[in-house]
Amino acid sequence: MTLSEELQWRGFVNQTTFEDITELDSEKRTFYWGVDPSAASMTIGNLAAAMMVRSFIKHGYKPVLLVGGATGLIGDPDGKAQERDLKTPEIVAKNKAGLVSQYKTIFAGQDFKVVDNYDWFKDMNYLEFLREVGKHVPMRQMLARDFVQSRLGEDGAGISYAEFSYSLIQGYDFLHLFEKHGVTMQMSGADQWGNCIAGVDLIRRKTGKTAHIWTVPLIVNKSTGVKFGKSEEGAVWLDPELTSPTQFYQFWINLDDEGVEDYLKVYTELDKEAIDKVMHHHKEAPQQRTAQTVLAQEVTKLVHGEKDMQQAEAVTAYLIGKEDIATAGAAALAIIRKEQPSAHTNPTGSIVDSLVSTGLATSNTEARRLIGGNAISINNQKVNREVFEASDFHGGRLLIRKGKRFKDSALIEI
């Protein structure tokens, strides 16, 4: 499968400056892809673009990975209704370190170069910037941007000169990398098209040469129609301190059937034959969630490693009742205690008290209502009584759950 064919099959074709995408197959280019340090971690939204980058690398393209130390000090205004709060240099530096660490994980084993745009902006003075960049960017082009129009409109919040100038900084990044590293192509998310065009136009005006853009489509949750990558708790992060490996694994395994084949294409490097085989097994017995399991295994292994993936899989097996909680080892129990509420009781203690003390119910009244409504399970079996029985405890412990979501579970020990 050629690069252009793979990009189409995986769903990575979106906006581009190439008139014919088969041009990608004839020349192996040096490209750059960057993430601003607005946070200390990427999300799975960024990961979709990273997986697209891996496809290009696999087909012989050379990557330059940028951390936006300079752009991070300003903040991209595109898509924002309000002016961003400026981050301190210390926060930006910490966030950059987090991103570089994740680059090294996601692209382990690949030959790539990491650059920081702060390195070429820190010594550039204002007059030099106006002469080298500002002189070559028409105001009409900048004012035509959708986010500028919305911010300057009658109901808009306005925009500072700093945020207005953001696209000039990113445009110069492309020019600098074009001249210093032979970069002739930029990859980005779909929302960065306008900023990327600023770079292509600047290169053309300054050098008379052509550069290109390739953007990854916005990944949408097919069942909800909203941007993919959000859980009820918020963004799904790659940093294990923000989204634990177990929570990360569970996000993938809980996905609906409607979009799972597309997610396998985007977020794994399994080839067409392998994915077709997974989906065949999945459709034969959808209740076994084969596709979601393979997806969770592959993505968690890429981001967190084999060991953490296996541990997350083991913990999840206990939470959903696939494995008896009595067999849980010390490591799995430690994770469950950390990530799920827990409490102690006695073999004939109050279920009502345990529901309240673990936060599964806000009051005794609600706890009794949940029990009466057949909404409480012990070790995956529905109960409609208010006290535990000795047989509920396996190895001195049990899992109690509210409703169908296994994350609404608590560990009860005697």
- Write down the pLDDT at residue 79: 65
Rg of the Cα atoms in the chain: 25
State the Cα angle at 38 between 32 and 42, rounded to 5°.
65
Alpha helices (H) along 80-158: 89-106, 118-121, 126-132, 139-143, 146-152
Measure the CA–CA gap between 283 and 289, rounded to whole angstroms. 9
- Write down the pLDDT at residue 230: 64
DSSP 376-398: EEETTEE---SB--GGG-BTTEE
- Regions of the chain where pLDDT drops below 70: 79, 81, 230-233
Assess contact for 60 and 109: CB atoms under 8 A.
Answer: no
Overall size of the chain counted in residues:
414
- Write down the pLDDT at residue 152: 81
3 state SS of 254: coil
Tens-place pLDDT, residues 99-133: 999 999 999 999 999 999 999 999 999 999 999 99
Tens-place pLDDT, residues 153-164: 777 778 888 888
Measure the CA–CA gap between 239 and 163, rounded to whole angstroms. 28
Nearest one of 326, 343, 276, 269 to 107, comparing CA atoms: 269
List, in sequence order, every beta strand (DSSP E) within 69-211.
113-116, 185-189
Alpha helices (H) along 259-390: 260-267, 272-284, 290-304, 306-319, 330-339, 351-357, 364-372
Measure the CA–CA gap between 112 and 62, rounded to whole angstroms. 7
3 state SS of 298: helix
